[in-house]
Structure 1
Amino acid sequence: MQVSEAVPAFADAFPFESFNRMQREAMPAILESDANVVVSAPTASGKTALAELAICRTLEREGTALFLAPLRALTNEKEAEWERFEEMGYSVYVVTGERDLNPRRAERADILVMTPEKADSATRKHDTPRYEFITDVDCCVIDEVHLLDSDRRGAVLEVTLSRLRRLCDPRVVALSATMPNVDDVAEWLDAPDSNTFRFGDEYRPVPLHATVETYAHGENSFADKYRRLYRALDLAQPHVEDGGQALVFVSSRQDTVRAAEKARDVVAERDIEMGARGDYDFHVDAEDLRNDTLRQSVVDGVGFHHAGLSREDKNAVEAWFKAGKIQLLFSTSTLAWGVNLPARCVVIRDTKLHDPLEGEVDMSPLDVLQMLGRAGRPGYDDAGYAHVVCDGADAAKYRTLLQEGKEIESRLAGELDAHLNAEIALGTIGDVDDVMDWLETTFYYVRANSAPDRYSSGDSLRERVRDTLRSLVDDGFVVTEEGNLGLEATALGRLASKFYMRLDTAREFADLAERAADEDRPTVGEADILHAVAAAGEFDSVSARRDEREAVRAVLGAEGDDLDPGNRKVLAIIRASMDGTTPSELRSDAWVIRQNVLRLLAAQRAFLRELGSPAAANLACRVEARVEHGVGSDAVGLTAVEGVGSGRARKLAAEGFQTPEDLRAAGVSGLVDAGMSEGVAERLLENASGLPDPAFDWGAFPDEIRQGENEMCDVTVSNAGDGAVAHLAASVEGREMTSTRCYLGERSLPLGVFGADPDDHETLTYTVTVTFPELPLPPVSESRTVRVVE
């Protein structure tokens, strides 16, 4: 069927002229029905066109379409691909965590592109002006719905879609690679039989021959990588020599580079003919690559691809692979999940990978099947060849996976408490009856009834949910209203939901905040804040290798001896990050761990602000800024100034600057003397002037007071800069007398001056302190001393 016949108004939205057999069979359900649709079809069979057809129908009805992409990298890819819709007058807007959200653009968008995690965040905040656009979605297209089975991300997709359906009930079009239990997904989404499609391998454009290959396993894991690499090259070589291409998947970004470097040597040793070597124009084009190693590699027909490459380099690699310039490409799993780069031969070299938070783990069966599905180039190859290289002990497992596929399971059971708490915090669940109604909207409920031998089901499933609810109440996350079945989240429950935390970690943070709020207990210090984060359950699976433990000891000394080795490694990474001096032995895991640490520090700051003390919240804010920017305590206040990052903060600190006040006092000339250009100095001074600048007016505060007398005074705190949330406290001899929280403009504090017994105090020191719980500025204080006379 010609595109121009099927959707004449949207013919320009498709990069081809006619639909294939699979697309034709599913088309009536998408274009002639309003019901939900579920399509299970082999990788590379053309499911993207079905997503675009669903979007076209939505646009034709002047509705808003939401496309959920499995990876953030793929949202950017869709933005580029769907310029075709932009050229037709429709607005495409990508919403990701790495971009500042423009609510007006999101509200006016015809096509929204998001990851499940961002959609989760948006639906949690749907009642705010910033995210209310999410309730206007008319059609939700889920790309790769089998992501439901992902250990880390499946539950997020499941609860997000259930929540979205409760909020605005959009039409749902779910697309998946081949899965045996497509009926379970269709039942969950209420897709009728007529709109549920199970396309088998006969619909693959290119037949697939998949095998499991073993290698001689040794005692050295480093040497094993090269044994697997040689095995992979053996499998790829016949296809490359025949003019075809091979795609080899490895476990990490670094491994793509190392494997490509070694493969170049092997290709040369084996004298394998590569067409790129004699292509002069290609060699000239390769000079524009930013990555030096990649530039040297691609001219020999060997390339690598990972998310850490610049966008320009990735685009070049993808274009050259499609054009056949690169014949042997090493990649991480990103290519398997979205970028349409099939190859005649696909080899999975690594079935295990190192996860900074989990240690060594098996590659997800979903990833394995997704990668293998990239074998075979439609229109070029008569067959695709896919191979899994693994240890002999795992061979049977992978052969079963290739023969039987992978049923999609719900991952909600393992995170039921956190997600149930989130729904109560959001108000989605308001009473006990709502709990069961919510449960019945989940894939977990459907799957439990479909496979009761693997899940609790029926009454036992309901009892499990009731037990989970009781534990939320017992642990202080939820309260029940007396006399009825109503449920309400506590401050603890709301904070845990807001920051996507494990509930055991939230409970620990709340306990620390209660310590900070208790005036009769020792003050919470920096070490307490760091220890609570490093000991968080989110890091329970972090492992520390032998060489890493030596580096940990060098950073910490005896600090954190009570922690497990993995958690102590986290503490060492935090401490090192605060000074910007992470040891080389810890760097491979440091980035991922640091991102999670920053998320937990932000959560801890909120816990301390709401449940603890302003001073502790301010301290957590300064610790967070130090971890993010890698600066010492003397420079952290400078990071509050927009335009001051780690390098500039260290440079200014070396010149004696510590706070925004120091910058304001120096003026443009002083900052120029410190090494800033005049333009930068002017900009920094303007930004520093926008931060709060408290000043104290003690009025008629006495210098002395007679024993037994008292006098009431007012101390006025004014702010010459922009306003900010502040905590004002007045104390005498270190004991707090009065305090208030305000948005600082100008505020007076009443202060009682009492004449004590001179034998106890010849002088009394009164101090007024301004603390900013949401800014990494050190507290500002001023004191007056009063003599006590007889």
Structure 2
Amino acid sequence: MSDSDDDEDDDVNAAGAHSIVRAVQRVNASQAPGSQGAAGSGDGVASGVLRLELRDYMEDEELVAGFMGDGDWQLYPWQAECLSLEGVLAGRNLVYSAPTSGGKSLVAEALAVRRLLQTGRTALVVLPYRALCEQKVAHFDRVLGGRWPVKELYGQHGGLDIQGVGVVVCTIEKAHALVQRMLEDDSLHNLGCVVVDELHMVGDEHRGNLLECMLTKIRFKTAKVQEERATAAAAATASQQGTAGASGAGAARSPGSSGGPGLSSPMLSSQAVAGSRSEYEQQVQIIGMSATLPNVGVVARWLDAALYETDYRPVPLAHYVAVGRELFGEDGAVARTLDAPPTWPDMDARDHEKRAGAVAAWLCHETVQGGHSVLMFCNSKNGCQNEARLLAERLDVPERPGPLCEEAARDGAASNREWAVAELRGLSHVNKSAQDLLLQVVPKGVAFHHADLTSEQRSLVERAFACGAVSILAATSTLAAGVNLPVRRVVFRQNYIGTKDCPLDATRYRQMAGRAGRAGIDSQGEAILLGNLTNNLALIREPPAPIHSCLREPDRDHPGRLGMRRIILEAVAVNAVSTTADVERFVKCTLLNASSPDFDTVVKSTQAALQQLFHHRFITWRKPDNVWEVLPLGRASAGTGSVLGPDQALALKAELDRAREGLNLECDLHLLYLVTPLPGPGDKLTNEQWKT
């Protein structure tokens, strides 16, 4: 991390001039085990020595065994230091940044399970893609060992009832809907913590709005509860002091009767306490992590969180650009020459695309012949399938050495590949066209992975790759985040997604390249871009861009932004805010406020949003109570489970209004009947289908 980051972290401007208690650690890759960073000791530090055993942070041997599995390992020093930051083990919010394959997930998972053990309240784990959710559900099932249920909440899985659930694993959209429902039911207190993986997604123009809305509402609600408790405690203290004064100076004081001051800011300081209980006991702990978050200090300020940063990566990752037969390093010098034979097809072709395909094939060949695996990122779903077909036809891909996986041994298969092919043939829910091609390429050690595969097909492909049955996997960028697969080399078939007018940026490149060299799986990793040397070297060297609030007003470059309209509408719709004072406290909990140079900018954006929502009849101002109140259109747009923004809701309403002019309807339910798909002959809708 550069020293310049300190200036940004310490610059508490008017928008972030709240009482913030945080610690910052920076640890470099040369850190010796057991050494301690600059910040003060915390719960995991005893006599200046870091405690590297997981059981030191989780006093439950069954859960520790669930994490350890069959292994015997210790925490990395940076993980112990992060867990040891003041207040984090007690429930204080935490934001941390570490490179891919640096062990980020373990810190968050340990804190989530510890919080569940401490409070008995549900842990919500938010991930950007379904593939990650599927893997994480299986992981938490193993860790918890049946002591608490693990709920799937993504795609078509699960409803919003989480009573009695230990861990909920969900996508961003489902998490947003769940928190909205819990605010509506006033049941947010049933959450113990929220873990957000890939926190940089908050800056994504398409999905970041939902993530920022969700975290802002949690921050506001938690701060409001803390403030109410602090105010009540202060009132009780004042009352008792009055009683003590009346009855004499020698009157005894009840334990827990002193409370912290009631603070008007939603960002309460760590001195605010309520009785003898921990200041963090009742709050929903937020744990956010990312490998590509250059302005992590701003995000920590937004979430009023402890902050930790490290650049430690246990498995070294090298970056290259392949141009013809030459492999260039990050410094632009030739690192080595590919020793492909002169007879290697199209290696020296004049056609750029043919030559790039030949180079990609050779890079795959030399990797699998060494007993390793390759993940090839392609720009499209069709590209994945075409590359898989060509590589299966062109290469001899041996099965990677290793024992039979559990399923293969159970089924009596002679090899992992034999098991994978048999399992593939037995799948019941498949994409037929993709299935036909998978049956052609998987027997040859090649596969592909993209969003059009069913969950059964994706899961089978991932397991086949993990056990060594498949050693070359062509995938879209949806496999770029968090899925832990044994990848030695990542090859970028193109340096763009979809079409050339959507090039990879530094953030996405680092996420994708970071799949190579996974800790505990490989001893080294390589990421190789194909094509133009100048452009690709610039991509490798470019730092990730800072994230910005998705609540900013739309402009020429970002016409799809919603400004403050959606978040204000959602807050009013669930009665989270109603008065002018509520609105002011609420917008102070936004990333927009934390990253704005002055609060006036936020105020103007909020006033514009309120005026537009009022004008279009989403909300109204009710007198004489002087409160904001949601109207039917606003409730339909921002209610639980709705994914409609205000603009989409207005467009849909206009279409329905036009349709009603040409329809003869007995009532509004008649319109619902007309748009509801009916079952075919012999079909019967289940209760779950009717619910969805």
TM class, shorter-length: 0.5 to 0.7
| Match of residue 449 from structure 2 | 305
1:11 matches 2:64: yes
Q: Which letter does structure 1 place at the counterpart of 2:54?
A: V
Residue aligned with 2:596, SS: helix
Q: Does structure 1 residue 281 correspond to structure 2 residue 422? A: no
CA contact (8 A) 2:375 2:491 kept: yes
Relative to its length, the structure with more helix (as a share) is 1
Distance 1:225 1:467, change over 3 A: farther
Structure 1 equivalent of residue 309 of structure 2: 198
> Quick one: which amino acid aligns to residue 433 of structure 1?
A
Are 2:590 and 1:442 equivalent residues in the alignment? yes
Match of 1:52 among 109, 129, 153: 109
Match of 1:267 in 2: 395
- Which of 525, 533, 546 is the aligned partner of 1:407? 546
Looking at structure 2, the residues matched to 274 and 244 of structure 1 have their Cα atoms a distance apart, in angstroms, of 10
Distance 1:4 1:472 in 2: 52
Q: Deviations over 1:629-668 (max 9, x none)?
A: 5xxxxxxxxx1xxxx33xx3xxxxxxxxxxxxxxxxxxxx
The amino acid of 2:391's aligned partner reads: A
* 1:460 paired residue number: 601
Would the alpha carbon gap of residues 396 and 378 (structure 1) be closer, same or farther in structure 2, given more than 3 Å must change? closer
Distance 1:512 1:153 in 2: 25
Structure with the largest fraction of strand: 1
Matched residue, 1:34: 91
Match of 1:245 in 2: 373
**2:150 matched residue in structure 1:** 92
Moved more, 17-26 or 30-39: 30-39
Alignment partner, residue 206 of structure 2 = 152
**Aligned partner of 1:144: which letter?**
E
TM-score by length of 1: 0.59
**Alpha-carbon distance change, 162 to 87 in structure 1, aligned in 2, over 3 angstroms:** same
Which residue identity lines up with residue 571 of structure 2 in the other structure? E
Deviation at 1:316, TM superposition (A): 3.8
Q: Distance in 2 between matches of 1:5 and 1:288?
A: 41
In the alignment, the residues of structure 1 paired with residue 199 and residue 100 of structure 2 have an alpha-carbon distance, to the nearest angstrom, of: 13
The number of aligned residues is: 515
Percent sequence identity is 27
The aligned runs of 1:702-741 (5 Å cut-off) are none
Contact 2:507 2:544 in 1 (8 A): no
Q: 1:425 aligns with which of 570, 573, 576?
A: 573
Deviation at 1:362, TM superposition (A): 4.0
1:57-79: per-residue Cα shift (whole Å, max 9, x none)?
A: 21331332222222233223222
Q: Which structure 1 segments of 5+ residues have no match? A: 217-222, 450-456, 518-522, 527-612, 630-638, 649-675, 689-773, 776-790
Q: Is the 8 A contact 1:22 1:45 kept in 2?
A: no
Any residues of structure 2 matched to 1:247-396 within 5 Å, and which? 247-267=375-395, 274-275=398-399, 281-285=415-419, 286-290=421-425, 291-354=435-498, 361-363=502-504, 365-379=506-520, 381-389=522-530, 394-395=535-536
Amino acid at match of 2:100: T
Deviation at 1:43, TM superposition (A): 0.8
Quote the offset at 1:511 in angstroms. 4.1
**Counterpart code for 2:398:** M
Match status 1:165 vs 2:252: no
Residue 54 of structure 1 deviates from its aligned partner by: 0.4
Q: Greater shift after overlay, 181-190 or 304-313?
A: 304-313
Give the equivalent residue in structure 2 for 1:67: 125
Q: How far did 1:374 drift?
A: 0.9
Separation in 2 of the partners of 1:232 and 1:205? 27
Report whether the alignment pairs 1:109 with 2:143: no
Q: Distance in 2 between matches of 1:207 and 1:179?
A: 20
The one of 287, 296, 299 aligned to 1:182: 296
2:609 equivalent to 1:500: no
User: Could you tell me how far 1:247 is from its partner in structure 2?
Assistant: 0.7
Q: Tell me if the contact between 2:152 and 2:158 (Cα under 8 Å) persists in the aligned partners.
A: no
User: 1:21 — aligned with what?
Assistant: 77
Alignment partners' CA distance in 2, 1:509 and 1:319 = 42
Q: 1:335 to 1:509 in 2, by over 3 A?
A: closer
Q: Is the 8 A contact 2:184 2:575 kept in 1?
A: no
Listed one character per residue, the Cα deviations across residues 560-592 of structure 1 (whole Å, up to 9, x for unaligned) are xxxxxxxxxxxxxxxxxxxxxxxxxxxxxxxxx
**Aligned residues of 2:292 and 2:507 also touching (Cα < 8 A):** no
- Give 1:331-730 correspondences, 5 Å limit: 331-354=475-498, 361-363=502-504, 365-379=506-520, 381-389=522-530, 394-395=535-536, 398-401=539-542, 404-413=543-552, 414-416=561-563, 417-449=565-597, 457-482=598-623, 485-498=626-639, 499-511=642-654, 523-525=661-663, 614-615=666-667, 618-619=670-671, 621-622=673-674, 624-625=675-676, 629=677, 639=678, 644-645=679-680, 648=681
Shifted more, 414-423 versus 35-44: the winner is 414-423
Q: For 1:366 and 1:152, locate their aligned partners in 2 and report how far apart those are by CA, in whole Å.
A: 16
Cα deviation for residue 485 of structure 1 reads 4.9
Considering only CA atoms, is the larger Rg found in Structure 1 or Structure 2? 1
Q: Is the 2:91–2:115 Cα contact (8 Å) retained in structure 1?
A: no
How far residue 354 of structure 1 moved from its aligned partner, in angstroms, is 3.9
Give a deviation string over 1:272-326, Cα, whole Å, max 9, x none: x634699963453223313342233233222222344454543443333233342
Deviation at 1:346, TM superposition (A): 0.6
Question: Higher relative contact order at CA 8 Å, sep ≥6: structure 1 or structure 2?
Answer: 2
Residue aligned with 1:299, SS: helix
The whole-number CA distance in structure 2 between the counterparts of 1:476 and 1:136 is 33
- Kindly indicate whether the alpha-carbon contact (under 8 Å) linking 1:12 and 1:84 is maintained by their aligned counterparts in 2: no
Q: Distance in 2 between matches of 1:328 and 1:509?
A: 45
**Partners of 2:614 and 2:323 in 1: CA distance:** 52
Q: State yes or no: 1:2 paired with 2:111.
A: no
3-state SS, counterpart of residue 368 of structure 1: helix
Please report how far the alpha carbon of residue 250 of structure 1 lies from its aligned counterpart in structure 2 after TM superposition. Answer: 1.6
1:232 aligns with 2:380: no
Which moved further from structure 2: 35-44 or 463-472? 463-472
| Preserved CA contact (<8 Å) 2:202 2:549 | yes
Decide whether aligned partners of structure 1 residues 44 and 477 sit closer, same or farther in structure 2, where only a CA change above 3 A counts: same
Q: Output the CA distance in 1 between the equivalents of 2:457 and 2:658.
A: 51
SS in 2 for 1:409: coil
Q: Cα distance, 1:329 vs. partner?
A: 1.3
Aligned to 1:80: 138
Cα pair 2:494 2:530 within 8 Å, conserved: yes
Q: Say which SS state the counterpart of residue 162 (structure 1) adopts.
A: helix
CA deviation map 1:538-565 (0-9, x unaligned): xxxxxxxxxxxxxxxxxxxxxxxxxxxx
Tell me which amino acid in the other structure corresponds to 1:287. A
Name the CA shift for 1:157/1:444 in 2 (closer, same or farther; >3 Å): same
Q: What residue identity is the alignment partner of 2:200?
A: H
**Against the structure 1 CA distance between its residues 275 and 492, is the aligned structure 2 distance closer, same or farther, given a 3 Å change threshold?**
closer
Residue 197 of structure 1: how far off its partner (Å):
1.0
Taking a change above 3 Å as real, the CA distance of residues 616 and 320 of structure 1, as seen in their structure-2 partners, is closer
After TM superposition, the score normalised by the length of structure 2 is 0.67
CA 1:474–1:397 in structure 2 vs 1: closer, same or farther (change >3 Å)? Answer: farther
CA distance in 2 between counterparts of 1:391 and 1:507 reads: 46
